[in-house]
Amino acid sequence: MPEQTFLMIKPDGVKRRLVGDILIKLEKKGLKLAAMKMLQITKELAEIHYQEHREKEFYEELIKFITSGPVVAIVLEGKGIVELIRNFAGKTNPKEAECGTIRGDYAVDITQNVVHTSDSIANAKREINNFFEKAEIIRK
C-alpha cells in the first residue's frame, strides 16, 4: 500500500477562500488525493488531534482557532508523501516559509498558517484515523 499523509486546510484557509488554490497546487504537483471532506471540528476532536501540545502555553489558543470554522481534511498518497507535503507546505512560521510553498504564499502568522500537515508516518496514520473512516478513503 502506498504511503499516506494527512493535510488539513485550517479555518483561515477556508475563510479566505484558498481551498481551490491549494487543491490546484497539489494537483499540479501531480499528487494523488485519496480522500477529502469539509467538516467543523468539535472541541473533543481538536483535543485528540493536538494532544501532543496539551501542556504548551499556546494549546488553548490552538483549540479555539481550529474549532472557529470549517476545515478541509485531505488524505494524499505517494512515495515519500509525508516529507514531500511537509516541504510543499513550507515552514510552520510563515515568516520563514519560502515563496512557492503554501505557507510562504498564503499564511499570515504562526497560528493562522493555512494548513496542518502530518510530521511522520505514525502521526499521519493517527490523524487519518481521527478524521476518516476506512470506507471514505479511495484506493486504486
Task: Give the residue numbers annotated as catalytic, written as ranges.
Answer: 116
Give the 3-state secondary structure of residue 31: coil
**C-alpha span between 84 and 62 (Å, rounded):** 25
Amino acid at 74: I
Listed residue (115, 108, 80, 84) closest to 94, CA to CA: 108
Q: Looking at residue 91, what DSSP letter applies?
A: -
- CA triplet 51, 54, 59: central angle to 5 degrees? 110
Contact 66, 44 (CB under 8 A): no
